[in-house]
Amino acid sequence: MMVNRHPDLPDYPLADRRVVVAPEELKAMAHPLRSVILDLVLERAATVTELALALKRPKSTVAHHVSVLVDADMLKVVRTRRVRAIEERYYGRTARLFYVGELDPSDIDPPPWAHPLRDAMRESEDAYQADTMWANTRHVRISRDQARAFWARLEDVVTEFSTLPRDGDQVFGLTVALYPTDFPTLPTSLNGTP
Instruction: State the amino acid at position 113 in one-letter form.
Output: W
Mean pLDDT in residue range 145-173: 86
Mean pLDDT in residue range 123-131: 88
Beta strand residue intervals within 26-179, DSSP E: 75-83, 86-93, 95-100
Nearest in space to 108 (alpha carbons), one of 31, 28, 26:
26
Q: How many helices (H) and strands (E) does the chain have?
A: 6, 4
Q: What is d(CA 8, CA 44) in angstroms, rounded to the nearest whole number?
A: 8
* pLDDT range class, residue 174, cuts 50, 70, 90: confident
Cis, bond preceding 110 (omega within 30 deg of 0): yes
Instruction: State the amino acid at position 158 in one-letter form.
Output: V
* Each residue's pLDDT tens digit, 23-78: 788 888 888 899 899 989 988 999 999 999 999 999 999 999 999 999 999 999 99
* Each residue's pLDDT tens digit, 88-123: 999 999 998 887 777 666 655 556 666 778 888 888
pTM of the predicted model, to two decimals?
0.65
**Backbone phi, psi, residue 82, to 5°:** -85, 125
- Give yes or no for residue 169 having a pLDDT over 90: no
DSSP code at position 186: P
Helix or strand (DSSP H, E) at 20? strand 15-20
Mean pLDDT in residue range 5-20: 77
- Give yes or no for residue 4 having a pLDDT over 90: no
Domain annotation for the chain: domains and CATH numbers: 1-107 (1.10.10.10), 115-185 (no CATH)
10 near 94, Cβ under 8 Å? no
25 near 73, Cβ under 8 Å? yes
**Backbone phi, psi, residue 92, to 5°:** -140, 165
15 near 94, Cβ under 8 Å? yes
